Structure 1
């Protein structure tokens, strides 16, 4: 498993929010999320595609808010009809995956994340996560973590 520890500035994503149940892998279909992506893809966008995961709990069968949209640099950049999701500045584990099927890439990423958690390599902070799509076949997912460098100093 391969990931990088990175420090990120605050990230803003303008888009369409969807309150989704946190599901086990293999149960990825969410019609509300698919509708939000379809609306976004059929509309005008003003930056690179992105999504945020906020307001979530740790347990399977809990809920989180996923905002699908595009990166923006300020609330002034947000067109009418979109909301702004804010992911705070902090320490993140950056996971990347590439493949020909989006669902396979997505499954691979979350397996890497959950394996890193299970092996004690990361401790999630649950302050907000962020994903971006550098090209049609790839995802970069930034998971907020407790900064291991801070833990070492204690």
Structure 2
């Protein structure tokens, strides 16, 4: 593996509302190749789900990890969608999440192929988690204009901390 140049910083985030397509999974299933995250991404883009979400705050895509039943070993909800200004309209098959304000450690990936940089940054986060306390409330990946080119993308991963 190449030398990682992952930046991290502590931030406080305001509460926000999110709408997206969600599913339950586990890290074990994802690592064994029987998970649902790749299919969720494929479905999100093929069906242009971002376009179907009303009252978007912006065009930034979020991949949410929430409703943890324990820690990184237990089931959790994974959802892809975006921040919205209100919940007046809810697209069929989607779910809303109210994310409270909180403290996050933000890990910024290096620039590179999106699948590669996100996975290696999560591996870095799992190592970091061995000596740092995660809250296991809501974590999310932020895909903005830096991800316009999937072969040279940069992603921020927000990890909720106590």
Which bracket does the TM-score occupy, shorter chain normalised? Answer: 0.7 to 0.9
More strand by share: 1
User: Which structure 2 residue ranges, 5 or more long, are not aligned?
Assistant: 1-5, 51-55, 148-152
Q: Is 1:87 matched up with 2:99?
A: yes
Distance 2:62 2:19 in 1: 9
**Other-structure match for 2:71:** 58
**Judging changes above 3 Å, is the alpha-carbon distance between structure 1 residues 66 and 5 closer, same or farther for their aligned structure 2 residues?**
same
CA contact (8 A) 1:67 1:85 kept: no
**Other-structure match for 2:19:** 14
Could you tell which deviates more after superposition, 76-85 or 49-58? Answer: 76-85
Structure 2 matches for 1:77-116, cutoff 5 A? 78-116=90-128
CA contact (8 A) 1:20 1:30 kept: no
**Other-structure match for 2:40:** 36
Give the aligned CA root-mean-square deviation in angstroms.
Answer: 2.4
- The count of corresponding residues between Structure 1 and Structure 2 is 142
Secondary structure at 2:136 match in 1:
coil
User: Deviation at 1:91?
Assistant: 0.5
Distance 2:35 2:129 in 1: 28
Secondary structure at 2:127 match in 1:
helix
Secondary structure at 2:109 match in 1:
strand
Distance 1:24 1:31 in 2: 5
Q: Is 1:140 matched up with 2:152?
A: no
What's the TM-score, normalizing by structure 1?
0.78
**Other-structure match for 2:150:** none
